[in-house]
Amino acid sequence: MPPTGTEMPADPKKTSQTEKEQAALDQVQPDRLLAGEDEGTRHIDDAVHWVKVYTELLEFKRSVLATTEKHVVTMDPDASAEVQQTDLVALSAEALRFERRLVFWRTKIKSLQP
């Protein structure tokens, strides 16, 4: 039977850490904007809004990361390894994206101020 692209590897333990990390990172688009986000806005109120949004998202993501890191040490080693190689990688990448967007919008506020 020809492969459909959805089969699991014959031995999941042979999947390298790099492949797992890449798969996790593929789920996070580093340059993705949120719905309604307009980098070209000339309105300071828009920039203030996005600072608030990204501040909240970053705080949330950091909370999820802290909780995940707390629990991963008590998990079965196989479960812990999976979480470390996928979930923590993706969560960290998302937090970095939120940090970059927050810096962008804070800088935008400064550029829009008289």
Residue 1 has pLDDT above 60, yes or no: no
Q: Which amino acid is at 85?
A: Q
Phi-psi region of 36 (alpha: psi -120 to 50; beta: other; left: phi over 0): left
Indicate the pLDDT class of residue 22, thresholds 50, 70 and 90. Answer: confident
The angle, 0 to 180 degrees and rounded to 10, between the axes of the packed helices 17-26 and 88-112 is 40
In the chain, the N- to C-terminal Cα span, in Å, equals 67
Count other C-beta atoms under 10 Å from residue 97's C-beta: 19
Bigger pLDDT: 31 vs 13? 31
* DSSP alpha helix (H) spans, 1-114: 17-26, 44-72, 77-82, 88-112
pLDDT tens profile 59-86: 999 999 999 999 999 999 999 999 999 9
Q: Which amino acid is at 66?
A: A
User: What's the CA gap between 103 and 101, in Å, rounded?
Assistant: 5
Indicate the pLDDT class of residue 107, thresholds 50, 70 and 90. Answer: very high
- pTM summary value: 0.76
Question: Would you state the pLDDT for residue 2?
Answer: 43
User: What's the CA gap between 34 and 50, in Å, rounded?
Assistant: 9
Tell me what percent of the residues of the chain surpass a pLDDT of 90.
Answer: 71
